[in-house]
Amino acid sequence: MKPTDIRDPEYFHKVVDCQYACPAHTPVPEYIRLIAAGRYTEAYMLNWESNVFPGVLGRTCDRPCEPACRRGRVEEKPVAICRLKRVAADYKDDVRALMPQGPFPPNGKKIALVGAGPASLTVARDLAPLGYEIHLYDDQKKGGGMMRSQIPAFRLPESVLDEEVDYILNMGIHTHFNCYVSSMRELLAKDYDAIFVGTGAPRGSDLSKLPGRQEGAANIHIGIEWLASVAFGHTDRIGKRVIVLGGGNTAMDCCRTARRLGGEQVTVVVRSPFKDMKASPWEIEDALREGVTILNCMPPKAFIVENGRLKGVLFEHVEAVYDENGKRTLVPTGQPDTFLEADDVLIAIGQENAFPWIERDLGIEFGKWDMPVLDPITFQSTHPKVFFGGDAAFGPKNIITAVAHGHQAAISIHLFCMGLDLHRDRPAPTVNIFQQKMGVHEWLYDNFVVNDRRYAVPHVPEEIALKNRRIEVELGFDPHLAYKEAERCLNCDVQTVFTSSLCIECDACVDICPTSCITFTYNGEEDDLRLRLNAPANNRSQDLYVSDTLPTGRVMIKDENVCLHCGLCAERCPTSAWDMQKYLYQVTKACKIWEIARASVAEPV
């Protein structure tokens, strides 16, 4: 294998699994260390720079970082990254002084953002400090988009959402709420320099062809519409027996909301097996804890309506059969159909994009699934002035993905408005690498690896939580628990940097490494090398760090897979050929938020 080029910013970035997996590439270990140090304000600002909604995401994020967490590969469970983020939001001081301070000198450019969800708000946050005049349109009465209409208050209190939406709106954004944009043609006719579409995936899928759907319509609701109606106070009760169709997170939010609005016997019915359910495991867990029943392998066959009133739903039974390519088909088992009684049914089987307001003769090309044709890097549509982001760009994903889209679209819009090239002039990520050595055996980071298992977030007792849909179920970590959980982080951003010219091949690192990551051997092809290392190296998604050839003709090979970043290799190295260096990788944003915040903090981070 060729020697690893550690000057490529992506090499060490990939070692920081959590950050690499985060669509917005939030510097996770860095903020976890700040939380452990009780520096919640700085932890919050580091998050805010990167993901814009730390308080919201600390409660609701899909957490792609956690399945990626290295800790989950060396013991049972990953670090509770998401809930640590919430700690930063809960215990921070007033952060407003650390944010860019308006009014910002205008740069003469005007942009329109359609939809006030996470993607548009991110664009607004990144561009407002640069002097753009920003007009934000939404048909709801407040900003937040799906964060407000689809996420129930018992998971995300309104005050938390308001706070983080207001940080952005108070930057001098021109808001046009209760205002549905019905024509892109009209919008284009106004004098905007660029238009960003962040309208999400607003249409809930229906089961319109199922018998009884029309007749029972009064008691059959589309999940996301029903959740929005609850959120805005239009709906405050539901029947005692509720069936929720679907197995995603919306279904979980529906069933849990139903439990709070009078649903006593709430049953979620999924057509696929449990293991294929799309809902996050922790959402399923919380629903089960609140007394919801989940039935699987039962597709609905018909809504049963008698005398114009919904009686229930008829289900058939299927089993999942997989062909040799792993493709799944649901095959009826022949078991007699099951009838479940219900007063109300909530359909939460998916969301779709819909752009009825965009005329198709404007030069905005639409492709497969009637989705806009976009440049995946710049988010620019085939109309140079029009950009898309969030669920509106590539279909329903999650908040953190929408934020990541927003950052990139903001850069594109800025480059476009400045007359620069959207690809060639895109800024590279910023990378800082800091030595951590303080003394012979002392490091700037807490290198000891604790054995603690994941700490559970305390909850409000169910009997209280179910009384009011506005009572937040999770209490969050207190500072003590947060410290304990933060200590579980392995500091994967503190990199093991090897300098081959210093190595005397004494084997000290090989002998000390708790997880046997390091091998000195003769070079070869990767397949061959992976078989010759001191420990099994079967995780091919993790790189091998290969040194230059050493005096004995061998090379140092480190399997990054289960390195604990404990620093013992560097501590036992007599020549400092191994060194622990903190690697801070940050995606460059249109506006230098972090630099502004850092300059305002008394003690530099």
Query: Packing angle between helix 479-486 and helix 81-91, nearest 10 degrees?
Result: 140
- For other proteins, the closer of residues 62 and 446 by Cβ is 446
- For other proteins, the closer of residues 183 and 539 by Cβ is 539
Shortest distance, CB of residue 575 to other proteins, whole angstroms?
7
Q: Which residues contact 211 (CB under 8 A, 6 or more apart)?
A: 301, 302, 303
Shortest distance, CB of residue 550 to other proteins, whole angstroms?
11
Distance, in Å, from the CA atom of 552 to the CA atom of 460, rounded to the nearest integer, reads 62
Q: How many CB atoms lie within 10 A of CB 81?
A: 28
- For other proteins, the closer of residues 432 and 552 by Cβ is 552
Coil, strand or helix at 142:
coil
- For other proteins, the closer of residues 183 and 552 by Cβ is 552
Shortest distance, CB of residue 581 to other proteins, whole angstroms?
17
Exposed, middle or buried, 588 (CB in 10 Å: 0-12/13-18/19+)? middle
Shortest distance, CB of residue 364 to other proteins, whole angstroms?
50
- For other proteins, the closer of residues 176 and 437 by Cβ is 437
* Footprint of other proteins (CB under 8 A): 73-75, 440-442, 447-449, 451, 504-508, 510-512, 514-517, 535-536, 538, 551-552, 562, 564, 566-568, 571-575
Helix, strand, coil fractions of the chain, as percent rounded to 5: 35, 20, 50
Distance, in Å, from the CA atom of 468 to the CA atom of 18, rounded to the nearest integer, reads 35
**Are the beta carbons of 408 and 566 closer than 8 angstroms?**
no
Distance, in Å, from the CA atom of 54 to the CA atom of 33, rounded to the nearest integer, reads 16
Shortest distance, CB of residue 447 to other proteins, whole angstroms?
6
Residue owning tokens 């399997």:
559
Coil, strand or helix at 166:
helix
Query: Torsion angle of alpha carbons 553, 559, 560, 566, nearest 10°?
Result: -80
Shortest distance, CB of residue 504 to other proteins, whole angstroms?
5
- For other proteins, the closer of residues 74 and 330 by Cβ is 74
Shortest distance, CB of residue 282 to other proteins, whole angstroms?
23
Q: Which of 160, 158, 148, 195 is CA-nearest to residue 44? A: 160
Q: Which of 511, 595, 496, 489 is CA-nearest to residue 543? A: 496
Q: Which residues contact 152 (CB under 8 A, 6 or more apart)?
A: 227, 230, 231, 253, 256, 257, 469
Shortest distance, CB of residue 522 to other proteins, whole angstroms?
11
- For other proteins, the closer of residues 217 and 506 by Cβ is 506
Shortest distance, CB of residue 535 to other proteins, whole angstroms?
4
Element (H, E) at 305: strand 300-306
Q: Is the dihedral of CA 540, 543, 548, 551 positive or negative?
A: negative
- For other proteins, the closer of residues 34 and 563 by Cβ is 563
- For other proteins, the closer of residues 75 and 526 by Cβ is 75
Shortest distance, CB of residue 573 to other proteins, whole angstroms?
6
- For other proteins, the closer of residues 264 and 511 by Cβ is 511
